[in-house]
Structure 1
Amino acid sequence: MKHYTTSRVITALLCTTTAALITGCGTDSSEPGANNTEPAAKAKHPFDTMASEQIDKQARESFRNTTSMRLTGKVSSNGQQVEIDLAIDVRGSCNGTVDNSLGTLHIIKKGSLVYAKAGEDYWRATFNRGMTVEQAEKMVGHFTDRWIKPPTLMAKTLGSFCDGFDSVLEILSAEPDGNATRENDATVDGRPTAVLTERTPTDTTTVYIAKEGKPYLLRATITGGNDPLDLTFTDHNKPVDTTPPPPDQILDPTTLR
């Protein structure tokens, strides 16, 4: 399991990202019509006969076919913690929220079209960088809690939250380096998972891989070190809802003087 805590991975996660794992696996069933009054022995899952590096390799191979997912949880980098709840796909579309020290930003992106909504603290911090206090407060009054269709430069900046999928795809689909270890199985939201862990002198990365249904990555954590994270992954391959807000709720900033 190539180490997930490189600055490249963290940057991609902060821009929103990541993954699902592994090829499909099934369990044996008893033969039809078998007359057996003894309880059937619990069938082993294919993972139970695999080395951790085999599971890791299959996970990466399956991940290459993942086209979308929803990420929920916390990511930290350079001392800043970001909470995300974001559906994202390989085309750079997204819908969800990113919450940092400035407040919560809700973003919808499809192609080059970006719509954003945030509270007054977020916009005040944005406009205070290049305006007088009076000018900034006027803009804050216009923007607060309204959907904005940003001009080109702002759209590119805000849209960058949705551009991390390909970077994580490249990183997590690389060949495993054989350093992962298999831990005791666990559950994530009631679903049984296989657990792989990688330890370094500074931190520990743990991934939880579904053992029922399609074996997707359901959770990843990094503890210790400077960039801890705790993310859950749902809605694998589910289309991202990029329906724009109603036109009467959208402010076009280019109409403001």
Structure 2
Amino acid sequence: MNHRTMRRASAAALIAATVTSAAACGPTGGDAGAQNTPSTSPSPAKPKDAFEGLTGAQISDKAKTALKSATSLRVTGDAPDGEGRTLVIDMAMDTAGSCRGTITQPDAGVIEIIKNRSSVFMKGDEAFWRASIASDKNLNAKQADAVLEIVKGRWMKVDKKTARAMIRKDMCDLSAVADELKGDSPTTTSRGADITRAGQALAVVYDRDGDSVTTVHVTKTGKPYPVEIINTGGTDAGSLKFTDFDKPVDTTPPPADQILDPRKLNR
């Protein structure tokens, strides 16, 4: 599950978060004359390592298989768009191609998306619409202001062709993401020290490709889902976070009175 695969699959990468762990504290010494009394309580048994004896590549393959078995999830992170810009994505998606979430573009505002099997709805904030209107050289300032008044705060139902231009399939369809996943090479992948985050035990796997290092955090209890993928070095520095596995994606359409009739833009 290397960094090139995840870039293609999700088009997203967050600035890598620094993971710190506190060192365990040793016993505190008593008074000078006090006598240490050995504890008679047995030490708690160390939980069995779910990945004992597995290589980093084997753990990565298990995470890939678990991700392919998920029916839905939520992806959050920053995404290079291939044109030197960074997108901020927060998208819930499922294997039916439905999704709901937001994409924030640098200097071009926020767009909200609701996509189900039959319809696609989008709503941009004022910055998004101003950037979109500015790209239309056929509109003068007065016309642009008139269009902005019509569209701001409103949802629009868009056709499939427009939706395909707006939304990459691998940003909305979990099946497309899973299909892109590839295994890691045993020669470049290794297991690091486990960590615990928010009470959850995670295995840590590293994959190296030249100057780039991809770190994958994999759950050690339940299904071995990858919950975070961090890229450092190279041109794809960042990370993805995966949450809300197998939770239904809410694709309820917006209220009818909040949906703009596109014909109004042609008047």
Normalising TM by the smaller chain, what interval? 0.7 to 0.9
* Residues 16-35 of structure 1 aligned to structure 2 (within 5 Å): none
- Share of identical aligned residues, percent? 36
Unpaired segments ≥5 residues, structure 1: 17-35
Name the structure 2 match of 1:143.
151
The answer to whether 1:155 aligns with 2:170 is no
SS at match of 1:184: coil
**Matching residue within 135, 139, 145 for 1:132:** 139
Q: Contact 1:104–1:119 at 8 Å: present in 2 too?
A: yes
The answer to whether 1:213 aligns with 2:230 is no
Name the structure 2 match of 1:87.
92
Name the structure 1 match of 2:4.
5
RMSD value, Cα: 2.4
Q: Contact 2:12–2:240 at 8 Å: present in 1 too?
A: no
Aligned length: 234
TM-score by length of structure 2 reads 0.78
- Deviation, structure 1 residue 105: 0.9
Letter of the 1:59 counterpart: A
Q: Contact 1:10–1:77 at 8 Å: present in 2 too?
A: no
Name the structure 2 match of 1:29.
none
Unpaired segments ≥5 residues, structure 2: 14-39
Name the structure 2 match of 1:24.
none
SS at match of 2:70: coil
Q: How big is each residue's C-alpha offset from its partner over 1:180-230, in whole Å with a ceiling of 9 and x where there is no partner?
A: 110111234432200101122221111100112322111111111112222
Structure 1 ranges of 4+ moved more than 6 A: none
* Residues 221-232 of structure 1 aligned to structure 2 (within 5 Å): 221-232=230-241
- Deviation, structure 1 residue 95: 0.7
Closer, same or farther: CA 53–156 of 1 in aligned 2, 3 Å: closer
Closer, same or farther: CA 135–188 of 1 in aligned 2, 3 Å: farther
* Residues 32-43 of structure 1 aligned to structure 2 (within 5 Å): 38-43=42-47
SS at match of 1:243: coil
Tell me the distance in 2 between the aligned counterparts of 1:150 and 1:135: 22
- Deviation, structure 1 residue 11: 4.3
Tell me the distance in 1 between the aligned counterparts of 2:97 and 2:218: 25
Q: Contact 2:231–2:239 at 8 Å: present in 1 too?
A: yes
The structure number with the bigger radius of gyration is: 2
* Residues 43-122 of structure 1 aligned to structure 2 (within 5 Å): 43-78=47-82, 79-101=84-106, 102-122=108-128
Tell me the distance in 2 between the aligned counterparts of 1:14 and 1:112: 24
- Deviation, structure 1 residue 57: 2.2
TM-score by length of structure 1 reads 0.81
Tell me the distance in 1 between the aligned counterparts of 2:55 and 2:12: 33
